[in-house]
Structure 1
Amino acid sequence: MSKKRLKIFLSFLFMLFMVNSIFGSYSESPMLMERVKNGDLPSVDNRLPIHPKVVKVREEIGKYGGTLHISKGNEMRALLVENTIESTGPIPVFDEKLVEGNVIESWKVMDNGKKFLFTIRKGLKWSDGYPVTTEDVRFTLEDIYSNKNITRIFPDWLVKGGEKVKLNIIDKYTFELDFKEPYGLFLLQLQSIARGSYHFFINPSHYLKKFHAKYTSMDKLKPLLEKEKLDEKSWGKLFQRKWQSSPWNHRKDIGYPVLDPYVVVEKPSDNVTIFERNPYYFKVDEKGNQLPYIDKVRYESISNQELMNMKIMSGELDFTINTSLGDLALYKANEEKGKYNTVLVPIKSINTKACYFPNLTYEDKTWRKIMRNPEFRHALSLAINRDEINELVYYGFGTPSQACDAPGSPFVEKSFRNAYIKYDPKKAEEILDKIGLSKKDKDGWRIGPDGKPFTINIEFFQVNPSLVPTTELVASYWKDIGIKTEMKVIDGGLWYQRQGANKTTMSVWHEDASRPGNPFFFFVPYEMINWGPAWRTWFTTNGKEGEEPPLEVKKLFEYYNKFTSTISNKERIEFGKKILKSQSENLWVIGTVNNIPIPVIINKHLKNVVNGLDPQWGPSMEEQYFFDNVK
């Protein structure tokens, strides 16, 4: 090659290098390109991690631009919940083939499930451009979870064998977690709704240290405390207010660093929040386009169903699951006017739409004597007319079922789902007579051993609109067999407080299925929402507090411990079936109707949506949504 040609060739290579340096090997939204051009942002190549997460789009590569209008908290899930690792499988059974990296890029399970070696995605950055490192993990475990000014009780999901997890920092991106006992379910925890969000594991230490007494002097904290009307001893409360611990908190402070697709940029009113794309978001599509496609999201909290329906019909919402099955015909009739499609989507992640769980540790001797008898709970279940509930409340779309696990679960046998679901009020009354509730007062109410009408008070808050009409029917069925039943709808915050304090007698919830990382949500009383609060306390404190449970409940805790410990799918399924068998025999939770679909409203121009949609928990992979009509 002549010197002249070599010079031209080298000049060409240099030109390619400069073009690549300026424009990068990845593409980005025009709104970010403008900021790069103005010097407000580094190039997209310098904002992305070394190995970005590549997302396989559902339908097609999208277009940049537009504003997504949504209206319900669950629709925010994809905006606010980036999991530590991700599952590609629908059922909560750990299988390495169904797990892939997300915020954590890679991992290794060691010592028969006792140790876990994790590597954070190298070059990953918070939304303010600050690097994500193992310091964010250390800060979370040592300075948040282990500081009693901030966290009263160390998270039980990070405890095994009665001991807290031990953290070993290897380097800037690698760390090891060491549990006392095998913890086969741990990886599942990190891909779940309940524990999977990075918020539970990795927090922006560079930002939060400004509100932590260990890192910031009291002189600097004092003005912040005064603004929040707190004294110096209450700095932990200040930290709690600044720490966005909940992955579903759509009211994050403006400027709070996140790893999510969108960041809060404006709050025009108490019920409206404006989000904008995160310029440092770590995912790209198959062609190297940085996600998300949509530029902005406008979230408006709407609690009134009539107002919600008006906004749907006028086309003011691009996507919503905040719908009523009873208004399906209304939605279909206004599709052309509102420029949307109505898609009836089955809920795959949960079982019954309304299930009833009695508090078996409520401090009343009469209540305990009667309600702890499984035959009494059998009678209550047999008295429920599930076919009627299905027709009147769910318009015939559902299926009568006992409280069990979700459809497709490997833990379910047909007998579990059908236990005591046949409507047989005569049999129910025979059972009540047999167990000592044959006497009635002048009004026809059955008399308990204390000489008073035995009364069930159902307390709940409206998690969804169907709970009230369903509970009205359930109360009427129980009244028909002589059990005095009262219903009370209360504030959600008050309900959580009363339920956690062992003050409720019976409650209602809108689901009962296991979820990845949070298995057997209802069937073992280890979570906040449960049928034995005092037993839960005993379990979570290793017997130091609370009330020692009976043998049958101890067995459940034993099965659950083995379920979470084993690294064998075969053994996990075995223990899962034992738990559900106990539920079917004892009816710790009483179910009604399952498999009820939800009408989902989708803008005609919104793409990459429905595949994989879980209406119970909102849209998934919202970062790949796009409008096909943007210019």
Structure 2
Amino acid sequence: MVTRRVFLGGLVGSTIAPSVLVAQQIAEPEFLKAKLADGSLPPMAERIPAQPRIINLKEMGRVPGTYGGSVRTIIGGVRDIRYMTVYGYSRLVGYDTKLLFQPDILRDFTSENDTVFTFRLREGHKWSDGHPFTAEAFRYWWEDVILNKDLTPGGGALELRPHGSLPRFEVLDELTVRYSWDKPNPVFLSSLAGPLPLVIYGPGHYLKQFHKGFQDKAKLEELMKKSRAKKWADLHIKMALASRPNNPDLPTLDPWQNRTAPPADQFIFERNPFFHRVDENGVQLPYLDRFILNVSSSSIIAAKAGAGESDLQATGIDFNDYTFLKEAEKRFPVKVDLWKMARGSRVTLLPNLNVADETWRVLFRNVHFRRALSLAIDRHEINMVAFYGLGKASADTVLPESPLFRQEYADAYVNFDPDTANKLLDELGLDKRDSDGIRLLPDGRRAEITVETAGESNLDTDVLELVHDHWANVGLALFTRTSQRDVFRNRAMSGSIMMSIWYGLDNGVPTADMSPYGLAPTLDDQLQWPLWGMYYLSAGQEGEAPDLPEAAELVDLLNQWGASAKMEEREVIWHKMLALYTQQVFSIGLINSTLQPILRSAKLRNMPEHALYGFDPTSFLGVYMPDTFWFKEA
């Protein structure tokens, strides 16, 4: 029997009909009045789709808002304008606040055994420049980008070819497209719903001017020279990059569009007049006119936010800034809430199993050594000192908010047990010590572990000072080295990093429908096994194949998950991977369920007071729909 899942969007569950939206004289944003007056912009009824996505705010426990206002926020560099595409969270398919799939840009979609996906667009939907958004956007990206060897030399994203081959792509009509695989592709929907979504469509009407197949050679060379691009493909990629919206001319479907070309110290994102969402009263979203992103040094974002220079700040601040930020409530009209971080662990120690030093590599690959390192740490002290006792001692695993949570995963080798740690270390042949009580390695060197940090948070340094004392009690010396985040990957790949301190699993609140890739060597930025991750990422062309049986088993289980069409099977595989990962202590989680301060203007409405905060799957603020935030004047 063929299972079929149907997901409907648009007007489902709403009392508003499209004809009512057209007939109603909805007030236009003051921000757009000039363009409406000179005729350069059509009225709202002609800008929104025939069946827009209706957001019923009252059902969400929120209040319909009013237009206007600019939100100031602070970013740590030009590249962080990418946060706007994460916050805007305009997706073909997205998550709701319960992390269930729902159509967003799509009017509806169907999935048959996770092998055949049919997407139906909204009639009358337009890009931010007013050009119709139709199946042509998918056709262009498929035929002229993905299948073009200059633009996609690797053969396409892994999410499109999980079993080696690309899907069959069909345009069924002007508003309907279909992707079909011979085997299930359960990662497809989640990759479309993520913070950095899989790209399968683009504004071909704009991008063709940068494409060799459509542009005159002389004109293309002129455009390449202007953009300092050596190849036409480099030019197209640069002008089409939506995840980091550097190009103000690139049409978008996001709620706000960048209007500032880099380099700049301030970036302004303005409302997209053709955005596809409305509230239950037919008022087009977003309510807010602009986001103003001020570039600063990462190290002083908290200070600036606490000095009243931000109306909405989530990135660049940490829990150790909370007291200072809370004091700002007395001086400025701001409010600071605490959201729960959705990562597997707020601070995690990652021994590099691919480290170049052979002696350390052998030790790090021994599960008894990793367990000893974990058991020697007093997590209660870390929680009390660094998190005021508000976090939970835990392995690097899923949180209680995930349906996959089991206490045994959280408890794996997290009890403070220096006696057992000492015993394990002795049994590994590290029973000799120097005059300072530091254990000696088999080659006679002192057991000195250098932990690298990106230096972006004092919290990491504070935690390492505590771990330094814990490990010294069992005869291990800890040293700290600061590296820039940008050089982490290269140093880890070269085997120069012994161990690093970083966040735990990106997704601490998964469902069985979300990929467990984070539990297996799949990416080159996984600091505990970067070479193994690169091997998977490059389909065996680079890096090294995992030669540790347990790591190889995780990859095998991941492949089994990817071949399954049944949620029940995926759930079983998830639990096998969680059990194996935590028992093997491939990452040494310390504290999770920690809190993240979120600073906002006291006038900003519809922001939840309590929520989950993380990159994946909540897209930071994204699933809480900032397009529904609005200013209520005092």
Work out which of the residue numbers 235, 255, 262 in structure 1 matches 2:256.
262
SS class of match (1:591): strand
Task: Compute the RMSD of aligned alpha carbons.
Answer: 2.8
Letter in 1 for 2:215: T
User: How much does 1:442 deviate?
Assistant: 5.0
Letter in 2 for 1:38: D
Work out which of the residue numbers 65, 70, 74 in structure 1 matches 2:68.
65
Aligned to 1:405: 398
Letter in 2 for 1:527: L
User: For 2:97 and 2:326, how far apart are their aligned partners in 1?
Assistant: 32
| Corresponding position: 1:422 with 2:422 | no
SS class of match (2:193): coil
Work out which of the residue numbers 109, 113, 127 in structure 2 matches 1:107.
109
Change (3 A) 1:541 1:549: farther
Aligned to 2:518: 522
User: For 1:293 and 1:399, how far apart are their aligned partners in 2?
Assistant: 38
User: For 2:229 and 2:569, how far apart are their aligned partners in 1?
Assistant: 51
Contact 1:475–1:487, Cα closer than 8 Å, also in 2? no
Aligned to 2:14: none
Aligned to 1:206: 205
Work out which of the residue numbers 467, 470, 484 in structure 2 matches 1:477.
470
SS class of match (1:573): helix
Query: What is the aligned residue count?
Result: 595
Please show how residues 121-520 of structure 1 align to structure 2 within 5 Å. 121-153=122-154, 154-195=156-197, 200-231=199-230, 234-246=231-243, 249=244, 251-266=245-260, 270-306=264-300, 308-313=302-307, 315-321=308-314, 322-347=316-341, 349-462=342-455, 464-500=457-493, 503-514=496-507, 519-520=515-516
Contact 1:293–1:623, Cα closer than 8 Å, also in 2? yes
SS class of match (1:426): helix
User: How much does 1:121 deviate?
Assistant: 2.2
**C-alpha offsets along residues 593-627 of structure 1, whole Å, 9 cap, x if unaligned?**
11111222221211011167443343230101111
Bigger mean CA deviation after superposition, 371-380 or 526-535: 526-535
User: How much does 1:274 deviate?
Assistant: 0.9
Change (3 A) 1:158 1:308: same
Work out which of the residue numbers 82, 87, 101 in structure 1 matches 2:90.
82
**C-alpha offsets along residues 405-452 of structure 1, whole Å, 9 cap, x if unaligned?**
123212221111011111122321211110122233455443333343
Change (3 A) 1:317 1:460: same
User: For 2:141 and 2:466, how far apart are their aligned partners in 1?
Assistant: 47
Letter in 2 for 1:60: V
User: For 2:239 and 2:419, how far apart are their aligned partners in 1?
Assistant: 57
Letter in 1 for 2:204: S
Work out which of the residue numbers 553, 563, 566 in structure 1 matches 2:564.
566
Letter in 2 for 1:287: N
SS class of match (1:160): coil
| Corresponding position: 1:629 with 2:625 | no
User: For 1:560 and 1:539, how far apart are their aligned partners in 2?
Assistant: 11
**C-alpha offsets along residues 227-267 of structure 1, whole Å, 9 cap, x if unaligned?**
34443xx3322223222242xx2x52222211111111236
Change (3 A) 1:152 1:590: farther
Unaligned runs of 5+ in 2: 1-18
Letter in 2 for 1:599: P
Change (3 A) 1:35 1:541: closer
Contact 1:354–1:467, Cα closer than 8 Å, also in 2? yes
Unaligned runs of 5+ in 1: 1-18, 92-97
Aligned to 1:5: none
Contact 1:326–1:395, Cα closer than 8 Å, also in 2? no
Aligned to 2:38: 38
Aligned to 1:607: 605
**C-alpha offsets along residues 300-349 of structure 1, whole Å, 9 cap, x if unaligned?**
13335556334434x332221243433434333332420122222222x2
Letter in 2 for 1:489: T
Letter in 2 for 1:135: E
Larger Rg: 1
User: For 1:30 and 1:457, how far apart are their aligned partners in 2?
Assistant: 57
SS class of match (2:426): helix
User: For 2:372 and 2:259, how far apart are their aligned partners in 1?
Assistant: 54
Change (3 A) 1:276 1:129: same
User: For 1:370 and 1:182, how far apart are their aligned partners in 2?
Assistant: 39
Q: Percent identity?
A: 27
Bigger mean CA deviation after superposition, 438-447 or 354-363: 438-447
Bigger mean CA deviation after superposition, 325-334 or 574-583: 325-334
User: How much does 1:371 deviate?
Assistant: 0.9
Q: What TM-score, normalized by structure 1, do the two folds share?
A: 0.87
**C-alpha offsets along residues 517-566 of structure 1, whole Å, 9 cap, x if unaligned?**
76435321113332223333443455565324333223212222232333
Aligned to 2:550: 552
User: For 1:283 and 1:590, how far apart are their aligned partners in 2?
Assistant: 43
Change (3 A) 1:269 1:209: closer
Change (3 A) 1:600 1:177: same
